[in-house]
Amino acid sequence: MTTTTFSPIFTVRLRPWLGIASLAAAIVATYMALIWAPPDVTQGDVQRIMYVHVPTAWLAYLAFVVVFLASIGWLWSKKVWFDAVAVASAEIGVLFTGMTLVLGSIWAKPTWGVWWTWEPRLVTTAVMFCMYVGYLLLRSLSSDFERRATRAAVIGVVAVVNVPIVHLSVTWMNSLHQLPTVLRAGGEPTLDGRMLATLLVGVFAFTVIYAYLLAARVEIELDRRRRQEA
């Protein structure tokens, strides 16, 4: 038997504050990305897309790791809250992965001369996108709540393997894609100070936006579940 009892702090009390923080962080990040950060020596202003592209990719990783943790939570405890977090995070993850692919394409055209090329980072990211679309498809095609949540949780646990594969694909295989410049094994970030600061503010802004969207979507999912139970 499942239960919809959950702590409302995250979804109800924190959500308005997360909304305000998201807006403020987005304004600061936009100013820094478009005005404060210097243009790249070789790429010029095209490089500024990195301030959105990298945070969306980071958010996709984070979202799918949250799906993994929430899936384990569901399999362990059968608490509805975990399933709601899993579905909310998967939807946001798919959205951000799609944005990563589109933004990457927009950057690739003036830089590489093509919208798409068959290189490991792009292909593994597209594969990850397809896998989580499959996850959402599996959810939408199952009618019984508990079965749907359990099936989806199994996929949520297995599919997380994609996250390290996508991140490390550029170091494992010959790749056109830029190697990691911030989270790299070799030492400190290889990025100009102002560029790095802008990137980190962008990552922070997108993380707050993710938390806001997650809180809103979890609330919707729990409301839906309550109505079904009533």
* Nearest distance, CB of residue 97 and other proteins, angstroms: 12
Radius of gyration of the chain (CA): 19
Contact track, other proteins, 135-174, x by CB under 8 A:
x-xx--xx----x--xx-xxx-xxx-xx--x---------
CA-to-CA dists, residue 140 to 21, 48, 65, 81, 96, angstroms: 32, 37, 21, 18, 20
* Nearest distance, CB of residue 145 and other proteins, angstroms: 13
Measured distance between the N- and C-terminal CA atoms of the chain, rounded to whole angstroms: 15
Which residue's CB is nearer to other proteins, number 56 or number 162? Answer: 162
Residues 58-97 that bind other proteins (CB under 8 A): 75
Which residue's CB is nearer to other proteins, number 140 or number 228? Answer: 140
Of all helices (H) and strands (E), which one includes residue 58? helix 50-77
Contact track, other proteins, 119-138, x by CB under 8 A:
-----x--xx-xx-xxx-xx
Which residue's CB is nearer to other proteins, number 148 or number 192? Answer: 148
Q: Is 44 helix (H, G, I), strand (E, B) or coil?
A: strand
* Nearest distance, CB of residue 28 and other proteins, angstroms: 37
Which residue's CB is nearer to other proteins, number 100 or number 124? Answer: 124
CA distance 208 to 195: 20
Which residue's CB is nearer to other proteins, number 79 or number 151? Answer: 151
Instruction: Kindly report the three-state secondary structure assignment for every residue of 150-198.
Output: HHHHHHHHHHCCHHHHHHHHHHHCCCCCCCCCCCCCCCCCCCCHHHHHH
Phi, psi of 79 (to 5 degrees): -90, 130
Binding site for other proteins (CB under 8 A): 75, 124, 127-128, 130-131, 133-135, 137-138, 141-142, 147, 150-151, 153-155, 157-159, 161-162, 165
